[in-house]
A and B are shown apart, each in its own frame.
Chain A
Amino acid sequence: AQSVAQPEDQVNVAEGNPLTVKCTYSVSGNPYLFWYVQYPNRGLQFLLKYITGDNLVKGSYGFEAEFNKSQTSFHLKKPSALVSDSALYFCAVREYNQGGKLIFGQGTELSVKP
């Protein structure tokens, strides 16, 4: 069965420092991986996805994610955090041959302090 885990409920970073939000996944075939961001009382917004190709995927707002097949991870990164990056971040996975629903992680609350 497919699953995705976000091991940290909360990540705290100082503004200007690099940030990493962790995600690991479990699928039986090739994974399709996604990151979403949610601001308070809003819907989720798409940040980036990995389908195939380069392991480093670039997305919106300066975010990027690194796909690591051997470690079954898809960590979200940004070189220099902004206070406005503070939000709830969700990782999601779908198997290559499954056209159905995404499986979401529990979410990680990112807090960036000035």
Chain B
Amino acid sequence: DGGITQSPKYLFRKEGQNVTLSCEQNLNHDAMYWYRQDPGQGLRLIYYSQIVNDFQKGDIAEGYSVSREKKESFPLTVTSAQKNPTAFYLCASSIVGANYGYTFGSGTRLTVV
């Protein structure tokens, strides 16, 4: 089955720690995206990548970092510089082209304890 997998489903972080959220896809999609979702605020774009070894900042990139070393993988690191990291994080992938939508992962819920 082709799809996009996010892990872990739930993640707890202590203050001052960096954590990395995993996103893997076997859809052969060139583009991958990370979104943050907070209650009542919709989806906010953190980073996106349309090709291996290249990525661009989205609307709320501060306190986050990404890498795109392989086509299949787009991990997101939430650094200690992110002051309010508790949120639901969604990864998506797509074929590059205007008439293609996104395929989403099932999300990771990050909680700072």
Contact = CB atoms under 8 A, between A and B. Distances in A.
A93 B52 CA distance: 25
B63 interface: no
B98 A94 contact: yes
A64 interface: no
Contact of A44 (B58, B90, B97, B98): B90
B6 to A, nearest CB: 8
B99 A41 contact: no
A24 B107 CA distance: 27
A102 B99 contact: no
Interface residues of B, number: 25
A114 interface: no
A104 B61 CA distance: 17
User: Is chain A's binding surface mostly helix, strand, loop or mixed?
Assistant: loop
Interface in A68-103: 90, 92, 94-102
A43 B42 contact: no
Contact of B50 (A97, A100, A105): A100
A90 B98 contact: no
Nearest to B97: A99
19 contacts: A36-B101, A36-B102, A41-B88, A43-B90, A43-B104, A44-B90, A46-B101, A46-B103, A49-B99, A49-B101, A96-B98, A99-B96, A99-B98, A100-B50, A101-B33, A101-B58, A102-B102, A104-B43, A105-B42
